[in-house]
Amino acid sequence: MVIQHMFGVPVKVTESKPAPPADNRIWSLYVGDLDPQVTEADLMDAFRLIGRIASLRLCRDSFTGESLRYAYVNFFTSLHASTALTFLNHKELKGQSMRIMWSQRYPLTRKTGIANLFVKNLHPSFTSGQLQSMFSKFGRILSCKVASENGNSKGFGFVQFNSKLSAMTARNALHGTLLKGKKIYVSKFVKKSVRTVANEETMKASLQGQNKQLFIARAQQEEIVNCHTEKLKASSLPAKNSTHPVHYSSFYSLGKVFLHDYEITGPNQTEATNQYRETKF
């Protein structure tokens, strides 16, 4: 309190405290998996019950004007945004369940699939909301959904956490869990492009291995043919000073005939070849 003199009379003046700085931050939510018929007015009616909305944008195709089935809803306070995320996530709007998460300005985590889990063998009646409820005890979830088509579950879904530790903890705890009579499978999510490359490399390695085995088998067969050709030659040598020459032109083909009787293709080829080598003629 300060004493000032006005016209020679002392006056008490109370100092006013400075106003707290205004919070100009906008809290943005991503709203996806919308029904194609949902409009801006529908979204406004659903979200304004939570609190005052700063802005709302339903993303549309720039040429056709058709909805791209996702929108951004911005609130003035984090409380209202958090409340909307808690109470409206996976709620139906025009018969379609909405998927809501915090808008990520730099969505590197979402695109790279870090801390993202793939869950399959889900019961057809299992919903995105139930999936979120089951996994939320292990950490903060960025996104969660059960894949569906024409309103019917495909039997698998995705759960993305904000940290790898939460994702691994959830995987270790829930993999193999019996849920509505079905044992669920939980694993680290792998992007389709990465899976395609991995499958191609595996197939290439498999073909190379098969070609190598085929080459070895052919070499073994050739060796056996040569071996039996020499045996036939030795057993058919003329006596000393014999005047009857021996022709060896058919020995090689004859050895192949013997081999054909024992030839086996497939995984047991090597074993059969070894047994054949040990056969006494």
DSSP assignments along 63-117, one per residue? TT--EEEEEEEEESSHHHHHHHHHHHTT-EETTEE-EEEE--SSTHHHHHTTTEE
Q: What is the pLDDT of residue 233?
A: 62
**29 and 99 together in one domain:** yes
Decide if 14 is inside a domain: no
Residue 190: predicted pLDDT: 84
Query: Would you state the pLDDT for residue 271?
Result: 54
- Residue 50: give the domain boundaries: 21-104
pLDDT tens-digit readout, 164-207: 999 999 999 999 999 988 999 999 988 765 544 445 555 665 66
Same domain, 89 and 116: no
Q: Return the pLDDT at 280.
A: 43
The whole-number pLDDT of residue 235 equals: 62
Tell me the DSSP string of 49-76: TTS-EEEEEEEE-TTT--EEEEEEEEES
| Nearest-angstrom CA–CA distance, 114 and 108 | 9
Q: Answer yes or no: are the C-beta atoms of 232 and 222 closer than 8 Å.
A: no
The burial of 15, by beta-carbon neighbours within 10 Å (0-12 exposed, 13-18 middle, 19 or more buried), is given as exposed
Whole-model pTM over 0.85: no
Based on the structure, what is the number of domains in the chain?
A: 3
pLDDT at 66: 95
Are residues 132 and 96 located together in one domain of the fold?
A: no
CB 72 within 8 A of CB 56: yes
- Give me the residues of the chain with pLDDT under 50, please: 6-7, 11, 13-22, 195-198, 239-240, 248, 251, 254-255, 258-259, 261-264, 272, 276, 279-281
The pLDDT value given to residue 110: 58
5 in any annotated domain: no
- The angle, 0 to 180 degrees and rounded to 10, between the axes of the packed helices 40-47 and 78-88 is 100
pLDDT for res 238: 55
Residue 22, pLDDT score:
46
79, part of any domain? yes
Q: Are residues 81 and 147 in the same domain?
A: no
Whether residues 129 and 154 fall in one domain: yes
189 shares its domain with 147: yes
| Nearest-10 Cα torsion for 182, 188, 194, 196 | -20
Domain contains 55:
yes
Q: β-pairing, 99-102 with 27-32?
A: antiparallel
pLDDT for the residue 108? 59
In whole angstroms, give the CA distance from residue 84 to residue 10: 55
Q: Are residues 92 and 128 in the same domain?
A: no
Helix, coil or strand: residue 249: coil
Predicted local distance difference test score (pLDDT) of residue 65: 92
* Residue 171 parent element (H or E): helix 164-174
**The residue to which tokens 């004007």 are assigned:** 65
Q: In this structure, what is the dihedral angle of CA atoms 97, 103, 109, 112, given to the nearest 10 degrees?
A: 60
State the Cα–Cα distance between residues 95 and 39, nearest whole angstrom.
Answer: 14
pLDDT at site 20: 42
